[in-house]
Chains A and B, each alone.
Chain A
Amino acid sequence: MTAQAQKRSDFATFIDNVRRIRREEWGDVSGYLFVAPLFLMWLVFGGYPYVRGLLIAFQDYRVFDRASWSIFNSFVGFRNFIEIFSDEYLWSGLKASFFLYLSWFPVSLVLSLGTAIVLNRVKRANVSAVYRILMTLPWVIPMAASMPMWEQIYEPNFGYLNHFLSNVLGVWKQPPAWVSDKFWYWPAIGVAAIWKGFGYYMLLFLIGLFNIPEEHYEVAKLDGASWWQTLWYLELPSIRNIMLLFLVTNAGFLGAGTVEGMTFGQGPAYIGKTIALRAYEVAFTGSMRLGFGSAMNLAIGIANLILVGLVLRFFKSEKA
């Protein structure tokens, strides 16, 4: 063996060792390349804005005032957060968020759960599929399209609802002007929201019910369990987790209502202006105070986390 060949093979072993150690230490590094596109996109358009959004909340950032863009010029500490308490729409906004939640949440829970239970007893697969598709269709309809649809139904003079109530059924001779009525605004937006969302929740409950093994039903039947007992002791306990999902994902109601308010309208005297919509308006309309809006959004997010935590805690103590 010549010296040169010896040297080359030393070099080859060296490279092999490097490769082996790299593989042991870092594994299959091409994995990083596979993850890179997602990671980089997220970093630039998701991660960075997230962190920057936290900083903006401590700035008096106004879009039309160039000097205020830099944090060194416009750092105001917690002043934005303190200002939230004196915002003219704070209390009415919190009230609106709560009313919006009340207007759809309880009914949607009962309706989606009840419909899933009834639909689960339809044994013919294609019949049940038709029902399922018809009921989940509203879920895929954009909010910006579904809200105008309901607005047209509610239209006091030419919409179908008032015509139906006063002329077809004849039960209510002078129905209200729904959307522009101080009280009826809430049921009106509530029904639209229920319509939009209940199919999705029904689908979740339905998946939960599908997962109950057929034998459990048979045992219940053999034991002579009534319809009610099957529901209470077999079906409801099996979808407990989905109920938890439903409650937890909707517990943060303070963040909801932005798009609803912007597409459905805010009712008379802005009664439908939820706190989340207010935060959006502060940041993106008028003098465009991104800093104040960001602080408001952040406060809403933290309040939402607390609400979610409370619901989780409640469920935990229930279980024990």
Chain B
Amino acid sequence: MNIHKARKLANLAFRHAYLLLIASFGLFPFIWTVSSSFKTQQELYTTLPSLLPNDPSLINYQYVLTGVQGVGSAGAGQLLILYRNSLVVSTVSTVSHVLIVSLAGYAFARLKFRGRDALFYFFIVLMFLPAGGTLMAQYELLKRLNLLDNLVGLMCLYTAGGGAALFLMRQVFLGIPSELEDAARVDGAGNLRIAFQIMFPLAASGMVLVAIMGFIATWGEYLISKTMIMSAEKMTLPPGVQTIIFVTPGAGRVASYGVRATSVALMVLPVILVFIFLQRWFIRGAVEGLKL
């Protein structure tokens, strides 16, 4: 009996030791980055590295956000420009993406029109086609439309995708009971009104999930943004964060670990907040959308 209990306890201890180890592996790069962002140039480059800053300082934050007097200005304040661009692009493309995917998802789930299912499966099959020269042709297309090096072009490309989101939204709408919809139809409400006033509020958790996924994806999207945007004042964060350089009067332009760490920490902050605070929605939406 006691042996049994001891074994159970050892099992429990082992289990949590393992999970703590893995969780700290997941957490460590964040700790190191945030810690580096509060270290001064001196501490970063001269003393033995310590896990926490010995003499916490906000100098890196001051540098990337406003610039520091006498340290040169290239790159200083650049982060705010990148931040603004990323915020505009991610918000606009996420909202429009959620809207058009929800409209289509509602139609594919609830309205009966000719060729509906064929069209839907067409969109799903598209997901499995190899990309091939799409990126190259998108470059050419934006160039022709005069949207190269333009945030609008980027938003269009981000809004256009989304086979997985469409599948999920259709699934969510299929799961909503049809009584309310039928009642509204008897009362003479049109499809558009039914969609916006009845179905969308009921499908909110699915829409929030699509929005979270879309926001996280666009906020971190690197390749398309790197390809389509050239000028520094139009860049978004992921490619732009590489361009933030520390400028010292003596040594000229040097990449500073402190500045890099600070930019990265500020860049990941929104996605972490979104992910943690919307965790509840995340799970609920995933459960509804994945119920097959």
Which of B15, B129, B274 contacts A121 (CB under 8 A)? B15
Residue A234 at the chain B interface, CB threshold 8 Å: no
Residue A72 at the chain B interface, CB threshold 8 Å: no
Which of A46, A119, A140 contacts B272 (CB under 8 A)? A140
Number of B interface residues in the complex (CB < 8 A): 87
Identify the stretch in B62-70, B201-209, B260-268 within 8 Å (CB) of chain A at 4 or more residues: B260-268
Taking A27-B116, A135-B26 as contacts, is the C-beta distance between A163 and B48 under 8 angstroms? yes
B114 touches A54 (CB 8 A): no
CA distance A41 to B160 in the complex (A): 5
Taking A53-B134, A56-B133, A158-B257 as contacts, is the C-beta distance between A38 and B103 under 8 angstroms? yes
Identify the stretch in A9-17, A94-102, A144-152, A214-222 within 8 Å (CB) of chain B at 4 or more residues: A144-152
CA distance A167 to B51 in the complex (A): 13
- Residues in A whose Cβ lies below 8 Å from that of B237: 142, 144
Which of A140, A195, A293 contacts B133 (CB under 8 A)? A293
A163 touches B26 (CB 8 A): no
CA distance A293 to B140 in the complex (A): 13
Which of A30, A141, A144 has the most B CB atoms < 10 Å from its CB? A144
- Residues in B whose Cβ lies below 8 Å from that of A134: 23, 26-27
CA distance A21 to B160 in the complex (A): 34
- State which residues 102-160 of B face A: CB under 8 Å: 103-104, 106-108, 111-114, 116, 119, 123, 126, 129-141, 156-157, 159-160
- The interface residues of chain A, by DSSP majority, are classed as helix
- The interface residues of chain B, by DSSP majority, are classed as helix
A50 touches B134 (CB 8 A): yes
B242 touches A144 (CB 8 A): yes
Residue A244 at the chain B interface, CB threshold 8 Å: no
B64 to chain A, nearest CB (A): 14
Which of B33, B100, B275 contacts A41 (CB under 8 A)? B100
| 0/1 string, B89-107, CB within 8 A of A gives 1 | 0000000000111011011
Binding site for B on A (CB under 8 A): 25-32, 34-35, 37-39, 41-42, 44-46, 48-54, 56-57, 61, 63, 69, 111, 115, 118-119, 121-122, 129, 131, 133-138, 140-146, 148-150, 152-153, 155, 158-160, 163, 167, 195, 199, 207, 252, 255, 258-259, 262-263, 280, 283-284, 290-291, 293-295, 297-298, 300-302, 304-305
Ranked 6 nearest A-B pairs via Cβ? A301-B130, A142-B220, A53-B133, A294-B133, A31-B113, A34-B107
Binding site for A on B (CB under 8 A): 15-16, 18-19, 22-23, 25-30, 32-33, 36, 44-45, 48-49, 51, 99-101, 103-104, 106-108, 111-114, 116, 119, 123, 126, 129-141, 156-157, 159-162, 166, 190-192, 195, 216, 219-223, 226-227, 237-239, 241-242, 257, 260-261, 264, 267-268, 271-272, 274-276, 279, 286, 290
